[in-house]
Amino acid sequence: MIKKINILFVTMFGIGKLPRIPGSYASLVTVIFLYVLFNIFLVPAEVFLFFLVGIFIISLFAVNLFIKDLTNKDPKEVVIDEFIGQSIPICLYEIAHSETTNSSRIITFYFIMFILFRIFDITKPYPVSYYDKNFKNSFGVIMDDVCAGLYVVAILVFYMIITT
C-alpha cells in the first residue's frame, strides 16, 4: 500500500508514466494547477511556499525509496522534481506580484516560466548539470530541477530590473 502511494506521489498520479516527454507534461500540469490555485481559488502564494518546502522534504525520501533498487537513478517516470522546480518561479512570481494584474499578463508570464524552465531542465547548464551528474540519489534528482527553477527566477528578476 505504501509503495503504491509512493509511486503515485513521485509520478504525480501517473503523469510520469505518459510516453515520450513526461517531464514536460508534469511541468505543464503544474503550471495549470498553480494558475488555478493562485488565480481562481486565490490561495496565497506564501501559504503554498510552506507546502512546497514540505513536498521537497517528502520527495527526498519518496524518490530515494522509488529508485533504491533501480540502476537508473533518475528515471523519466519520476516527475515530482518537475513539480518542485516549476513551482519555484511561479510561486515567487506570485509573491512578488501580489497585487491584482490582468489574467493575460499572468498567463504570458506563466508561459514564459514554463518554457524557460523546460529549457534549463533539458539543457542542464551549470550547476544544474553538476547535481545531475554528481549525485545519483534523490538529492541529485530533485536539486537539478530546483536549480533550473532558480535560473528562471534569476532571469525574471533581471527582466524586472531592466524594465522598471
Tell me the DSSP string of the chain.
-HHHHHHHHHTTTTGGGSSS-HHHHHHHHHHHHHHHHHHTS---HHHHHHHHHHHHHHHHHHHHHHHTT-S-SS-TT--HHHHHHHHHHHHHHHHHT-S---HHHHHHHHHHHHHHHHHHHHH--TTHHHHHHH--SHHHHHHHHHHHHHHHHHHHHHHHHHH-
What pLDDT does residue 4 have? 95
Tens of pLDDT, residue by residue, the chain (164 residues): 899 999 999 999 999 999 999 999 999 999 999 999 999 999 999 999 999 999 999 999 999 999 998 888 889 999 999 999 999 999 999 999 876 678 899 999 999 999 999 999 999 999 889 998 899 899 999 999 999 999 999 999 999 899 87
Q: How far apart are CA 164 and CA 162, in angstroms?
A: 6
Q: How far apart are CA 44 and CA 65, in angstroms?
A: 32
Q: How many CB atoms lie within 10 A of CB 43?
A: 15
Spatial contact of 77 and 22, defined as CB atoms under 8 Å apart: yes
What pLDDT does residue 120 have? 97
pTM strictly above 0.85: yes
What pLDDT does residue 39 have? 94
